[in-house]
Amino acid sequence: MKARLLVSLVGIPALLGILWAGFPFLTILVAGAALVGLWEFHRLALALKARPNLPLGALWTLAFVVNGQIASQHGSLAPHIIGAGLIVTLAWALARRRGASFLRSWLLTAAGPLYVGFLLSHALLLREGGNGLYDGRAWLLYALFATFATDTGAYLVGRAFGRHRLAPTISPSKTWEGALGGLVLAAGASMGLCALLDLPVATWLQPVLGLALGVVAQGGDMLESLLKRRAGVKDAGGLLPGHGGLLDRMDSLLLTIPVTHYSLALVLS
């Protein structure tokens, strides 16, 4: 618990400073986090008896990060990067086809960059986008803290009042009470963040957007828990004392940041 708090006390202010500064610090952070997350995903894939191509996955992941940084000036190339990556990795898998596991190896080679690289690159798409329509820095802060509020609410309420297991075969520690606490705190945090950051969100929509992010955040957490359960491991890695691996900390953000990015069309209308 002490290690968990220490990492949070040091990590969150550092993250805020980097986010505020933007390029090149945020780009470097996203690239580093994506590569570490990909490495942890690779370890899970090995436990699933697959042999994904890590160098190809790393190049594909970095292509998504670069696209996230330059998309606001040059347009997004994400569909082309996805298509090219699928073709190249499939060609690699077919060239080294050995037994029935080649298909699993290809799927997990593709899944890592798409799950970590593509989704995390939305942090840069959100931060650097807008073209004067919205403050990308404020919206990225909103996504981060709404997610943190969900995780904190679920953790604290679950520990204090959790009695009914949410999904015991996937994540035995999660409870319905904790999930509800996460949603309530997400809705409240959304309203507070919209006021604090002066976000142009209708009053009635603020808690709705928070609830949506709360659901998505817990879904992202559950998805990674399912992957770890299938791989037979407790944590994706051991990089962060008290927190597990970096992927264990990013699992919710991998979904909430893209959802925030794509929700802006609805919010700003």
Per residue in 224-245, pLDDT (tens digit) is 989 888 888 776 655 655 556 8
Q: Residue 247: pLDDT above 70? A: yes
Domain boundary among 68, 99, 129: 129
151-170 pLDDT tens trace: 999 999 999 998 999 988 88
Contact call for residues 241 and 234 (beta carbons, < 8 A) = no
Same domain, 264 and 142: yes
User: Do residues 66 and 93 share a domain?
Assistant: yes
Angle at 251 between CA 105 and CA 245, to 5 degrees: 80
Query: Are the beta carbons of 221 and 251 closer than 8 angstroms?
Result: yes
Q: How much helix, strand and coil, in percent to the nearest 5, is found in the chain?
A: 75, 5, 20
How many domains are contained in the chain?
2
Q: Judge if 141 and 121 occupy the same domain.
A: no
Cis amide linkage into residue 258, ω under 30° from 0: no
Are 121 and 156 in a shared domain? no
**Chosen domain end from 98, 129, 160:** 129
Side chain identity, residue 107: L
Q: Residues 201, 181: contact at Cβ < 8 Å? A: no
The predicted structure's pLDDT at residue 12? 80
Q: Which amino acid is at 62?
A: L
How many angstroms separate the CA atoms of 156 and 265, rounded? 33
**Shared domain check, 252 and 222:** yes
146-150, 185-189, 200-204, 244-248: which range is least confident on average? Answer: 244-248
C-alpha–C-alpha distance, residues 87 and 90, integer Å: 5
Q: In angstroms, rounded to a whole number, what is the distance separating the alpha carbons of residues 260 and 99?
A: 42
* Residue 198 CA neighbour count, 13 Å, CB half: 2
Domain range for 75 is 1-129
Instruction: Encode pLDDT of 42-82 as tens digits.
Output: 999 888 888 889 999 999 999 999 999 999 888 899 999 99
- Calpha distance 234→256 (Å, rounded): 23
Residues 260 and 222 both lie in one domain: yes
> Has residue 5 got a pLDDT over 60?
no
| Mean pLDDT, residues 82-89 taken together | 96
pLDDT at position 109, please? 93
Residue where a domain terminates, one of 114, 129, 144: 129
Is the model more confident about 147 or about 103?
Answer: 147
Segment 234-258 mean pLDDT: 78
pTM of the complete model: 0.91
